[in-house]
């Protein structure tokens, strides 16, 4: 933090977040607020590696430290920085610095790509030049202006009557700081980019909607009006994984959710998410999650914590 006011702002943010948790009637570590798109996160111990789908969002780290693996990229971030995601993407995450005396705290804002696009068009904010291949998830330092906006948003929670109007305005102010920052292309490229950026966003959307269907790259490329080689290159630049790797992780994460319900067997889940061989499903599931399907689901149900918060 180069600006002398930033440590003061961080201390005030930490105080406000602590107060929100202290005022909660429930001793929960994921705290919802009166604004449906705003949540507070606390972890009172380091966590094992967990996997899931990261939705379009921004999370400001207030205290503690976390690691995230996106494809083959390791992102590490601590207090005063934020992680932002412009598309829905499979990731793994782990809290590496948290304790009962010094918990991990984060402030998360869920983002709607349509909202981002409408805002950028209205404000006439261009994508920063030279960032057409910006990755879909990045970690950035939060400057003074962004920290101040987050602080005003959290303080607004104590004034319920002002939330409906001022909450929306403060979210737009935060969005402005995010998309106009040096790393702003992470949020804007998929919703307001050129032909290639829109094509990758459409390809991701198609895979998410048809994850249980066979994926033929040539057909998908034709559908989004790119060559197969360009789609593969652009897709990997954005998500740090190939389309087939994205589909595989999505299938396994969906299977994990189904298994946690406790009403399905591994073989039937394998077929439901698109596998033709239950044995292949079990092998790939164990390779990703470190345990056989049913054992992993039982362990998760007993220790249900969102690893991406």
pLDDT interval class at 309 (50, 70, 90): low
Largest CA distance in the chain: 59
105 pLDDT higher than 90: yes
Q: For 135-151, how does the pLDDT look when each residue is reduced to its tens digit (9 = 90+)?
A: 889 999 999 999 999 99
Which residues lie across from 78 on neighbouring strands? Answer: 65
pLDDT interval class at 71 (50, 70, 90): confident
234 pLDDT higher than 70: yes
128 pLDDT higher than 70: no
Please tell me what DSSP assigns to residue 166.
Answer: I
Q: Where are the alpha helices (DSSP H) in the chain?
A: 5-23, 113-123, 144-156, 168-180, 185-192, 195-209, 217-223, 228-239, 243-260, 266-272, 278-289, 293-302
Average per-residue pLDDT for the chain: 89
The pLDDT score that the predictor gives to residue 132 is: 56
Whole-number Å distance between alpha carbons of 269 and 213: 14
Domain-by-domain residue ranges, the chain? 5-187, 192-244, 251-302
Q: May I ask the CATH class of domain 5-187?
A: mainly beta
Q: Which residue has the higher pLDDT, 106 or 122?
A: 106
**Domain at 251-302: CATH architecture:** Orthogonal Bundle (1.10)
129 pLDDT higher than 60: no
The pLDDT score that the predictor gives to residue 196 is: 58
Q: Say which residues have a Cβ less than 8 Å from residue 15's Cβ, sequence separation at least 6.
A: none
Mean pLDDT to the nearest integer, 118-130: 69
Q: For 219-230, how does the pLDDT look when each residue is reduced to its tens digit (9 = 90+)?
A: 999 999 999 999
Q: For 150-160, how does the pLDDT look when each residue is reduced to its tens digit (9 = 90+)?
A: 999 999 999 99
Q: For 152-191, how does the pLDDT look when each residue is reduced to its tens digit (9 = 90+)?
A: 999 999 999 999 999 999 999 999 999 888 888 788 765 5
The pLDDT score that the predictor gives to residue 83 is: 95
28 pLDDT higher than 90: no
| pTM attached to this predicted model | 0.83
DSSP string for residues in 55-113 = PSEEEEEEESEEEEEETTEEEEEETTEEEEESS-EEEEEEEEE--SSS-EEEEEEE--H
Mean pLDDT to the nearest integer, 234-244: 89
197 pLDDT higher than 70: no
The pLDDT score that the predictor gives to residue 39 is: 97
Tokens 């829905």 belong to 88
The pLDDT score that the predictor gives to residue 180 is: 84
Mean pLDDT to the nearest integer, 73-97: 93
CA-to-CA dists, residue 61 to 8, 24, 78, 82, 108, angstroms: 15, 20, 6, 6, 9
Phi, psi of 159 (to 5 degrees): -125, 75
The pLDDT score that the predictor gives to residue 127 is: 61
Q: For 255-278, how does the pLDDT look when each residue is reduced to its tens digit (9 = 90+)?
A: 999 998 877 899 999 999 999 999
306 pLDDT higher than 70: no
**Domain at 192-244: CATH architecture:** Orthogonal Bundle (1.10)
Whether residue 203 contacts residue 235, with contact meaning beta carbons closer than 8 Å, is answered with yes
- Tell me if domain 192-244 and domain 251-302 are identical in fold: yes
Tokens 């995010």 belong to 178
């Amino acid at each position: 933090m180069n600006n002398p006011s930033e440590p003061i702002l961080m201390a005030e943010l930490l105080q406000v977040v602590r107060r929100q948790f202290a005022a909660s009637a429930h001793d929960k570590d994921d705290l919802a607020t009166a604004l449906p798109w705003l949540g507070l996160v606390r972890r009172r111990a380091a966590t094992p590696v967990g996997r899931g789908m990261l939705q379009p969002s921004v999370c400001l780290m207030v205290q503690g430290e976390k690691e995230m693996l996106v494809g083959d990229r390791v992102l590490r971030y601590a207090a005063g920085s934020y992680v932002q995601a412009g598309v829905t993407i499979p990731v793994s995450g782990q809290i590496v610095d948290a304790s009962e005396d010094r918990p991990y705290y984060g402030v998360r804002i869920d983002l709607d790509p349509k909202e981002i696009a409408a805002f950028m068009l209205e404000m006439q904010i261009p994508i920063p030049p030279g960032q057409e291949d910006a990755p879909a998830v990045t970690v950035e330092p939060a400057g003074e202006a962004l920290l101040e906006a987050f602080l005003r948003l959290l303080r607004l929670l104590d004034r319920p009557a002002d939330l409906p109007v001022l909450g929306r305005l403060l979210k737009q102010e935060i969005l402005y700081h995010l998309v106009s920052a040096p790393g702003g292309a992470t949020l804007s490229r998929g919703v307001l980019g050129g032909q290639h950026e829109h094509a990758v966003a459409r390809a991701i959307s198609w895979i998410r909607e048809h994850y249980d269907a066979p994926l033929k790259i040539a057909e998908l490329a034709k559908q989004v009006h790119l060559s197969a080689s360009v789609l593969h290159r652009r897709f990997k630049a954005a998500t740090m994984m190939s389309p087939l790797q994205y589909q595989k992780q999505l299938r396994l994460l969906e299977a994990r959710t189904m298994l946690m319900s406790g009403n399905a067997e591994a073989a039937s889940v394998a077929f439901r998410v698109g596998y033709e061989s239950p044995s292949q499903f079990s092998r790939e599931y164990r390779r990703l999650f470190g345990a056989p399907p049913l054992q992993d689901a039982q362990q998760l149900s007993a220790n249900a914590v969102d690893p991406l918060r």
